[in-house]
Amino acid sequence: MIEKIIENLERTNCAKDDVFIQAVNEVFRSLEPILNNDNRYEMYAILERLITPDRIIRFKVQWLDDNNKVRINNGYRIQFNNALGPYKGGLRFHSSVNSGILKFLAFEQIFKNSLTGLPIGGAKGGSDFDPKGKSDFEIMKFCHAFMRGLYPYIGARVDVPAGDIGVGTREIGYLFGEYKRMTHTYDGVLSGKPYAFGGSLMRPEATGYGVVYFASEMLKEEYGETLQGKTCCVSGAGNVALHTIEKLQHLGANVVTCSDSDGTIYDPNGIDLGLLKALKGDGRRLSLENYSTQRYGSIYTKKENYPFDAHAVWSYSCYAAFPCATQNELTFNDAHSLIGYGVRAVVEGANMPTTPEAITLFHSNNILFAPGKASNAGGVAVSEFEMSQNASMEKWEFEKVDRKLNEIMCQIYKRVALTAREYGRERNFVDGANIAAFKRLSEAMMLEGV
């Protein structure tokens, strides 16, 4: 059955859908043990319905740059599935964005959101707008124009977008301002808002902190170990990477790497987070080369000086690796290198950063591997906390959000590990996550009827 559905998917989708097909393949391969035991999945065509988005919205975004030149971009929102609650998921602004990448992200999001146990469906959106080199005013004008295309399709009980690559608190603030002007309503239609108007404390930190909470629980349960004193490699230098590094450092780990699309920093004395934030925090995008000129003992490797299909950031000895930049950034060659250097655990902060071949290699070498849909779910979980706070007009303390985030990450780990064991896939957290998420989602779809 799975083969036929994938064949059909490959036939009906276009070349840029390769990452979407990769994500579907990964999920479906995990589901074999559960599909064989229950013919209701076939009767309700659950798999076919799961890979078909409810709605793909595409709109034109026209705006004026600082020279008053007219610029045009594509805007998208893919509302994939709302069986469990309002559509929920981030917006990505990056030159690589197209409908295939957003379909993969929205598809992953429905499983991630299911795993949280919270009442949220899955969606993703964004634009091929490239924020690099744009002035603050240009970012603002673009966000306003983007929202003018998006606002008819979203709502606090309909679809609640948030941030992703290229979209942080600043962009969400501009998007919210325009939504308010267009609709005359002041409600929680976006999450990740500035604290001044409805944002939750800890949403900026949530994804990265959640990744480390998940890792700590997994390492405690599986190895009886902690991150204290351990060497860790992190990739990326954006929202997720910065807060993953921050929490790892709180727990006494030594983080020795970070990276961006142009290169990698190796700092054996431990990343200087203050310096890194000065270069990359709050949407800043200064080159990491500046880090090496300002920090004695650190080494910068430019991307073009590194062999094809391998990445400098994974060429160092570490106990745990945290890919936190983008999809398919940790390849088979990288996995081989990490294993050679003695890595014990790989915990995804980004969405699908590890290629299928690399995951197989980790599994066959008994390396603990945590898939992003489980380990990076802390961001969307705190987004849902923000929706709750907005709906009840409450403001929760930092400590309360932090405690609830920690609890939810530990619960996700337990759900994933127990499900893997129950289906004879002990320590295979990819299968555990996919099966656990699928069970909750498919039950809801069957209860709602066709």
Residues near ligand 2IT (CB under 6 A): 88-90, 112, 162, 164, 191, 351, 379-380, 383
The residue nearest ligand NDP at its CB is 238
Cβ proximity to ligand NDP, 75 vs 168, nearer residue: 168
Q: Is residue 285 at the binding interface for ligand NDP, with CB under 6 A as the rule? A: yes
- Single out the residue of 75, 125, 161, 166 in contact with ligand NDP (rule: CB under 6 A): 166
Cβ proximity to ligand 2IT, 378 vs 432, nearer residue: 378
Q: What is the C-alpha separation between 389 and 393, in angstroms, rounded?
A: 6
Residue 238 interacting partner from ligand 2IT, ligand NDP, none (CB closer than 5 to 8 Å by kind): ligand NDP
Question: Does residue 14 sit in helix, strand or coil?
Answer: coil
Please say whether the beta carbons of 245 and 277 come within 8 A.
no
Beta bridge partners of 258: 265
- Single out the residue of 118, 330, 350, 409 in contact with ligand NDP (rule: CB under 6 A): 350
CB of 239 to ligand NDP, least distance (A): 4
Q: Is residue 89 at the binding interface for ligand NDP, with CB under 6 A as the rule? A: no
Residue 217 interacting partner from ligand NDP, ligand 2IT, none (CB closer than 5 to 8 Å by kind): none
Q: What is the C-alpha separation between 84 and 114, in angstroms, rounded?
A: 7
> For residue 96, what are the CA distances in angstroms to 4, 16, 99, 243?
30, 11, 10, 24
For 73, phi then psi, to 5°, come to: -130, 165
Cβ proximity to ligand NDP, 13 vs 261, nearer residue: 261
CB neighbours of 105 closer than 8 A, spacing ≥ 6?
A: 89, 90, 92, 124, 164, 351
Residue 89 interacting partner from ligand NDP, ligand 2IT, none (CB closer than 5 to 8 Å by kind): ligand 2IT
Q: Is residue 379 at the binding interface for ligand NDP, with CB under 6 A as the rule? A: yes
Q: What is the C-alpha separation between 445 and 450, in angstroms, rounded?
A: 8
Q: Is residue 165 at the binding interface for ligand NDP, with CB under 6 A as the rule? A: yes
Cβ proximity to ligand NDP, 41 vs 322, nearer residue: 322
Q: Has 60 been annotated as catalytic? A: no
Cβ proximity to ligand NDP, 328 vs 388, nearer residue: 328
- Single out the residue of 25, 183, 261, 360 in contact with ligand NDP (rule: CB under 6 A): 261
Residue 88 interacting partner from ligand 2IT, ligand NDP, none (CB closer than 5 to 8 Å by kind): ligand 2IT
Cβ proximity to ligand NDP, 183 vs 261, nearer residue: 261
Question: Which letter, b or e, does each residue of 393-426 get, where b requires 16 or more Cβ atoms within 10 Å of its Cβ?
Answer: eeebeeeebbebbbebbbebbebbbebbeebebe
The conformation of residue 242, written as its DSSP 8-state character, comes to H
End-to-end CA distance of the chain: 20
Q: What is the C-alpha separation between 353 and 351, in angstroms, rounded?
A: 6
Q: What is the C-alpha separation between 168 and 90, in angstroms, rounded?
A: 10
The active-site residue out of 124, 193, 230, 247 is: 124
CB of 244 to ligand 2IT, least distance (A): 14
CB of 13 to ligand NDP, least distance (A): 21
Sheet arrangement for strand 122-127: 55-64, 70-81, 122-127, 87-93, 159-162
Q: What residues numbered 191-210 form the site for ligand NDP, per CB under 6 A?
A: 207
Q: Which residues are the active-site residues? A: 124
Q: Which residues bind ligand NDP (CB under 6 A)?
A: 163-166, 207, 236-241, 260-262, 285, 324-326, 329, 349-351, 376, 379
